[in-house]
Amino acid sequence: MLPAERFRRVISESGLHDRVLRHILARNREGDALCAELVVSPTLQRVARALLRHTWAWTNDNDVQQIATVGLTQYELALSVGLSRSALAADLAELRRRGLISTGRRRIEIRDLPGLRGISNSDRDAEQPPSAERPSAD
């Protein structure tokens, strides 16, 4: 553990002060954006955004056919988007129905990155309830 005064001195002497400050501010903005997302975004949109956040580190934007795997359990994903496990399951079922993901034991595969991005950016799609909750057309 580095005492605060020594940390400040190391940062100052190495010329990293501005970089560290920018990093801290960026992380703070990211946290604020996530908090706002939990409050105002529909659940399907939050789930799509969380899946994308967890795959961006492993995907290549130029290779949209690539299948990306999210190594989280549904419980862990539910916690990250502020949902119960059962509420998350309904949204994952909708994403599976649309062919955007497949799920298995302790994994979620993103099968259609552009489609998932579309939901993450679209208020109209995100407001649609999962198919199990839609009234039937009969």
Single-letter residue type at 24:
I
Residue 21, pLDDT above cutoff 90 = no
Q: Is the separation of the CB atoms in 112 and 118 below 8 Å?
A: no
pLDDT of residue 128: 43
* pLDDT score for 136: 36
Provide the pLDDT confidence category of residue 56 given band limits of 50, 70 and 90: low
Distances (CA, A) of 70 to 26, 29, 128: 24, 24, 24
pLDDT at residue number 123: 55
